[in-house]
Amino acid sequence: MKETRFQPNIIITGTPGCGKTSHAESLVSLLGEGYKHYNISALAKERKCFLSYDEEFDSHIVDEDKLLDSLEPDLREGGAVVDWHCCDIFPERLIDLVVVLRTDNSALFDRLKKRGYKDNKIQENLDCEIMEVVYQDAINGYVPEIVITLTSNSVEELEDNVDRISAWVETWVKDHPQ
């Protein structure tokens, strides 16, 4: 099915703590009207898309089919900035750019510790970052042309990244006139 939208949909993904929400909030506030931040963890809660709760890792297991059904109408509108550590559930026809954030392990450790994660959950996430799990999911799920990797170790990098993504959006919009 051919999708027509006049604002791109962007996924900002990466290991928990790498800065997805910070990037998404800042990007949406820079882009302004027509763009909306979808924090999938919050949205899954709001729209009751959970299958179960994993006590060992203190996390919810999301019902991905239900979540996707719920989110598809929003994505068809365009202008979605999707913030989640899983990216490959969203069909390629609905996604224009996948940004994979990468963070050094020492910075990631500090952020997750500060967030109050239990040791096993911190270790699981550090392993995930070292093994490039999210990056591999992104390149396996989407054509390479739409996947970019950006480092997110400092506030300066965060600001640069948001400026770069915003410049990309401007070009995309020019290339997709209404």
Binding residues for ATP: 17, 19-22, 115
| Shortest distance (Å) from residue 121 CB to ligand DAT | 12
CA distance 111 to 135: 20
| Shortest distance (Å) from residue 147 CB to ligand DAT | 17
Q: How many CA atoms lie within 13 A of 29 on its CB side?
A: 6
| Shortest distance (Å) from residue 33 CB to ligand DAT | 23
Choice between 124 and 157, CB closer to ligand DAT = 157
Looking at residues 82 to 121 of the shown chain, list those that interact with ligand DAT (rule: CB under 6 A): 111
Residue stretches of the annotated binding site: 17, 19-22, 115
CA distance 99 to 93: 16
16 binds ligand DAT (CB under 6 A): yes
Could you tell me the sign of the dihedral formed by the alpha carbons of 101, 106, 112, 115, in that order?
negative
Beta bridge partners of 59: 54
41 binds ligand DAT (CB under 6 A): no
CA distance 114 to 45: 23
78 binds ligand DAT (CB under 6 A): no
21 binds ligand DAT (CB under 6 A): yes
Looking at residues 111 to 170 of the shown chain, list those that interact with ligand DAT (rule: CB under 6 A): 111, 152-155, 157-158
CA distance 77 to 74: 5
19 binds ligand DAT (CB under 6 A): yes
Considering only the stretches 12-20, 58-66, 127-135, 163-171, report the one whose residues sit in contact with ligand DAT under the rule CB under 6 A.
Answer: 12-20
| Shortest distance (Å) from residue 2 CB to ligand DAT | 32
The residues binding ligand DAT (CB under 6 A) are: 14, 16-22, 111, 152-155, 157-158
